Amino acid sequence: MVDVSGKAETKRFAKAHAFVKIGRAALEKLPENPKGNPLEIARTAGILAAKRTAELIPLCHPLMLTHADVDAKVEDGGVRIVASAATTAQTGVEMEALTAASVAALTVYDMLKALDKRIEIQDVYLLEKQGGKSGDFRR
């Protein structure tokens, strides 16, 4: 891991995106899913994943998050996921937001795979970050 002990603690925020491409027939059956509500389960899975990012990605610093959230919305062609994370620390939360978005997308896939074998997880990327030495970024 990179030594961040010389860096000042600052407020950090990041937001990430993922899209799960799903066929129309599977999207129409989404409310009747026998496993439960995929959007709520994905939200919970993403938040839990954000909190465990350092366990999943070997060189990430473990962070005490002050905020983690996932928004999953059905739209034409699939489910759009936007995840966010925040903390006050010596390093950023981009990986936590990206992990939350990725795991939320994987959860949607898992919950709908019986309905559609052609599901695709697409467009996982950082939307924005705030704080730190490198400053703010917006896609």
Catalytic residue among 71, 110, 116, 123: 110
Beta strands in the chain (DSSP E): 10-21, 67-75, 78-89, 120-130, 137-138
Catalytic residue check, 110: yes
- Closest of 49, 15, 21, 39 to residue 128, by C-alpha: 15
Burial class (CB in 10 A: 0-12, 13-18, 19+), 58: exposed
Catalytic residues: 110
